[in-house]
Structure 1
Amino acid sequence: MRLRFAAAALAALAVLCCTPAAKTRLTTALGRFFRDVARARARTRRYGNKYALAQMVLKTEAPLDLSEPQHDGTVTQSELEDGDGVDGAPVYVALRGRVYDVSAGAKFYGAGKPYHHFVGRDASRAFATGCRAAECVSADLDGLDPSQLRELDRWMEMYETHDKYTFVGTLVEDPVDKYV
């Protein structure tokens, strides 16, 4: 209850910010905070780490090994693009070539919602940099520094351990497009 009140108060503060840049910084900070709360809850639930949030705040948490996918499913680029939530389609978001079904988060990822521009594509660069502009939504990681790549890993951990989002598969080249 207190967390919901705090979230509402911070959201109201974001609306009241004077400049668009300040509003963007506050929105990004809030997104990262609530992402870390979700990660901490998952680490507590899955691994029994009751100090996970403190470790995240103090930046002493050990990263989870995300090198191996949960299963060997695959998703083509065209299947990812079709995952836009339109006409009952699932809602897909990809990070570092790993595709997640975020249909349960329609209030965030649905058409006209704040994160819909990430849907149906690999948005790794946007998550790593915190940039929400259309030109930042890409799979290109060239030129990112280690702290930005770690930020991307934190987002991937959130998707990997989320209660309602599921790993669909690894993005692969579309075999039909390969021969065209």
Structure 2
Amino acid sequence: MTAHRVTVLLSATILAIPLIKANDAQVVISDDGCTSCWTLTVSSTERGSVVMPGEDAFVYLTGELAPVEAVAEEGSQFTHWTGTAVDANAVLDPCAPHTSVMMDANYTLVAHFKPQGEPWSTVYFNGFEGHVGAEWSHDAVDATPVGERRFLGRFGNDAVTLTLTGLPAHSRVRLSFDLFAIRSWDGNGEVWGGGPD
């Protein structure tokens, strides 16, 4: 005699109920207790809204991808998502208005918006003409052979860190810099196959 295991999943809505014959000795109904449901609580700031799934609390099964989509009002633009889902790295792309959340816990998710065309502001600049501050993990400076431009370096395989504190509230950061390859460039390490040399 072959026994068949049937799992019935119940949540806020009934997902599936298999057809079972009464008094069928070959069918065993059991609850394995391992299916969990999680709540995603979605909201937004002013200047936009979340249209998928909406703004409320929604229930998902463990491992389910919960699609979310934020839409900005006229004259505004989406900037990013925040919340416990972002903190747990459960959001596939926290900077995209249409993304998904991998449900493996209860999460919150908030869509953020700003006025369209809001300009970038420069919060840090260093031309390395003077003292290199403590914000840099490396403080040696040098000059280019031609043109006498000052720069932070020279580096071999060094890792250099810039640490900025007290930044204004922001959703994105744009970093720009000049790269001087003097004499030779030994490559970008193993990840890039040894570099351009």
| TM-score, L = length of structure 2 | 0.17
Larger radius of gyration: 2
Structure in which a larger fraction of residues adopt helix: 1
Structure in which a larger fraction of residues adopt strand: 2
| TM-score, L = length of structure 1 | 0.18
